Structure 1
């Protein structure tokens, strides 16, 4: 989040977390335009252009695929996935989406 705030070529538009206390604390600290407690709701926001997936490793691929299907670019933390098969599924999703995954 700190890097998003410091970036000259990006704006921290929204944050999302299922934990209300963490969402409130990060919202107060980084002051995004919007805060969500539902990932699908956030992905449905037409103003959102890209997401950073910074969750537990097991969720990296499923959340990245959801974002790509929603038409968003994705920056995903390492590791990108927990198996070769997951990596292949994600690569296929990137090709179908036409979006950028980093």
Structure 2
């Protein structure tokens, strides 16, 4: 198991990265903070603090933001991909072909 660093600099850094991702995604979608906070059902000050990296948002808050932006939570918080680049909307996947066990017997 990985041990936590002695200080909380790593945590503040992740909060800033997530905030940058939220802001970049919002702007990429031409949304204002007003539009996003209303769509997400969260307080505007909460959204401002998340984007500034000063908030410690709850999972529910992050889920609401991701849903309103039409991106996955993983896209907002993926450590390996955290940059100020906007999170992209995942491509839609076509319906899966039925497996042989799913098809009714014809005989």
TM range (shorter): under 0.3
Q: TM-score, normalised by structure 1?
A: 0.27
Give the structure, 1 or 2, with the largest relative contact order (CA under 8 Å, sep 6 or more).
Answer: 2
More helix by share: 2
Q: TM-score, normalised by structure 2?
A: 0.26
Higher Cα Rg, which structure? 2
